[in-house]
Chains A and B, each alone.
Chain A
Amino acid sequence: MDLATFLVQCLNAVQYGLLLFLLASGLTLIFGIMGVINLAHGSFYMLGAYMAFALSPLFGNNFLWMLLAGMVLAAVFGYLLEWVFFSYLYQREHLQQVLMTYGLILVFEELRAMLVGNDVHGVPVPDWLAGSFSLGGIMQYPWYRLFASGACIVLALALYAVVNRTRLGMMVRAGASDRDMVRGLGIDIRRLYRTVFAAGVALAALAGMIAAPMASVYPNMGASVLIICFVVVVIGGIGSITGALVASLLVGFVDTFGKVFFAEVAGIGIYVLMAIVLVWRPEGLMGRRA
C-alpha cells in the first residue's frame, strides 16, 4: 500500500467514524440521561436520508439550508415523538422499551414503504461540492467526502461547546451522572428529556442527510447502522460523549482497514474489536465502573 492510498483510506476511516459519532452521540445521550434504550434510533437516520431525497429537488444547490431545514424538521418530529411515545417508557423496564421501540421500527419501515416505495434512490451531490481533488498526484478524493468530515467536525465541536459551556449542557451532564439528584434540584426533567431526545433525533437525521449523497437511500438502511452504533456505544461507554467519539473513530478505522486487508471477513472486524474491549474493560473505554 503506497502513501497516497493509505491517506485516502485514512480520510475514509475518519469520515465514516465521524458520521457514526453523530448517530452514536445521540444514542448514548438518550440512554445516559433518559435511561431509554432506543432501537428506533436507526430509523431517524433513515428518516434523514429520505428527507435529503425529498428535499434536495426543492433546495437545489442550497445544500446547507437543506441540512438546516431537515434538522429543524427532525427536531420537531423528535419532540412530538418523545411526547407521544417515549414519555411513557421511562418508568418501564428495558424489556418493554426494547419491544416498543421495535414496534416503532416496523411502523416507520412500513410508512416509508407506503410513502416512497421500496426502490433504491440516489441523492445528487450539490454542484459546488462535486468533483474531486488530487492526492499525491495519483489518487483522487471527492470534495463531498471532505465536506462531510468537516461538517461532522463542526457539529462535534458545537456539541462539545453546548455540553461543556452552557447551562443546558450542565443540566445534561448532571442528568447523565445522577438523574434523581437533578430532579431533586428542581430542574424540569421532562423538558430536559424532550430537548435531549429532539437533539438526538436531529443529529441522527443530519447524519442520514449527509450520508445520502455518498451512499444511496434504501429500505432498512437504519437497521444495520443502528447495530454498529450499539457497538460504538458499548466500546465507548454509555453516557460518555468523549467515549462515543473515540469509539466511533476506532470503529471507522477498523472497518475501513479491515475491508482493505481482510476483505473476506471485514464484516466481523468491529465485533472482534468489541469482544476485545469487553474482555479488557467491560464498562467501555470511557465508562464509569459499575
Chain B
Amino acid sequence: MNTTTLAMPTTTPPSSPRSANGLWLPLAVAVALGIAGPLLGGYGADLLVKVMVLSIFALSLQLLVGMTGLVSLGHAAYYGIGAYITVLGSGDGGGNLFWLLGLSMGGAALYALAVGALSLRTRGVYFIMVTLAFAQMAYFVFHDTPVGGGSDGIYLYVRPAAGALDMENRTVLFYVVLAALVFTYGLLAVVRRSRFGAALAGIRVNEQRMRAAGFPTYGYKLAAFVLAGALAGLAGFLVAARDGVVNPEMLSWHISGEVLLMVILGGIGHLRGAVLGAVAFTLLKELLGTHALIGPLADHWQLTLGLAIIGFVALLPKGLIGLAQRRATP
C-alpha cells in the first residue's frame, strides 16, 4: 500500500493551507452562480441544481478520501438515508425545512457513527469492503422491508418549507442548494485549515507516526467519518427535495462508485477537485446518454461510461486538477 505517494504534494499546490487566494475563485464562482442561476431556464437550471447537489455529495466524500485517506465505497448509504428521512419525516402535509434538514443530517450521521465505529477497526482493502457491505445492508433495509415503500420507493407530496422559504418554488430551491454548497465548501475549507484538519492530513500521510505523537487517531477518523456522513445526508435531503421521490437505488453501490469516481475524476485532496469532478461526471453522463450528440451509441451508455472510466484511470491517475497542474508547472 503506497497511500503516501498520493498524499505528498510534489509542488506547492494552489490549495495549500496558507495560500490566501485559495478561496477567491470558489467565491467568485458562487457569486456568479447566484446571479446567473435564475436566468437559466428549465433544463439549464435543473442541471445546475443537480450538479450542485452532487458537488456537496462529492465534497463530503473528499473529506474521507482526499483529506483523511479513507477510501469508503459505501458513501451512498448516508446520502440515501438523508433522502429517506426527508420524505418519511414530511408526511402528507409537508414538513419544516430546518427541522427536516437537521433530522436527515442527524440520521445520516448516526448511521455513519455506527458504521464508522465498526469499520474503522479495519484498514485498507478491508475498510473498502466493510463500508460497501454496510451500505448494502442499509440498501436491503429499504429494499426488502415496508419501511420506505419497498423497491418502488416513496413520493414526497409536499416539499419542505419554512415560512417564505418554500422549496416548491424552483428559485428558492436553487438558492437553498447554492447556500448549502457554499456552506459545505466553506466548512471543509475551515476544517482543512484547522488543527483537526491538520491531524487528518497527518493520519493520511502516516498514521503510525501520528499515533506515536500522541494523537488518538481512531477518534479523529471517526469524527471525520461522521461529519462526512452528515454532509452526505445534507446532499440526500436536497436531492429528495429536488426530485420529490426516493427509492432504494439511491443507496446502491453504483451510486457509491459514482461519487468515488467524481472525487478521483476531479482530483484527490482538493476541495475544488470534488466540485470539478461532479461537474465533469454529470456532463459526461449526460453526453454519453444523449441520442442527439452521439447517436445510437447512447443506448449503451454503460459501455461507453465503463470504457471512459477505465481509460481515465489508466491515463489520468491524478485527476483533472492534476492535469491543470502539470500544464502549469512544466
Contacts and interface: CB of A to CB of B under 8 A. Distances in A.
Interface of A: 31, 37, 85, 88, 92-96, 98-100, 102-107, 109-111, 113-114, 223, 227, 230-231, 233-234, 238, 264-268, 271, 274-275, 278-279, 282-283, 290
A227 B136 contact: yes
B306 A278 contact: no
| Chain B interface helix/strand/loop/mixed | helix
A-B pairs, 9 with minimum CB distance: A106-B306, A103-B309, A267-B140, A107-B306, A110-B303, A271-B137, A110-B302, A230-B129, A282-B121
Interface string B48-90: 0000000000000000010000010100000000000000000
| Chain A interface helix/strand/loop/mixed | helix
A231 B306 CA distance: 25
Given A100-B309, A110-B302, A274-B130, A31 B125 contact: yes
Interface string B131-158: 0111011001101110000000000000
A283 B65 CA distance: 22
A105 B258 CA distance: 13
A268 B140 CA distance: 7
B324 interface: no
B122 interface: yes
A48 B145 CA distance: 31
Interface in B1-36: 1-3, 5-6
A105 B132 CA distance: 16
Nearest to B122: A282
B327 interface: no
Contact of B303 (A93, A107, A271, A279): A107
Which among B119, B261, B308, B313 has the greatest number of chain A C-beta atoms within 10 A?
Answer: B313
Contact of A102 (B129, B136, B257): B257
B128 A85 contact: no
Contacts of A278: 118-119, 121-122, 130
Contacts of A114: 300, 303
Given A31-B125, A37-B125, A234 B71 contact: no
A107 B307 CA distance: 7
B193 interface: no
Contacts of B314: 88, 100
Contacts of B302: 106-107, 109-110, 113
Nearest to A103: B309
A103 B130 contact: no
Contact of B310 (A107, A227, A233, A271): A107
B309 A102 contact: yes
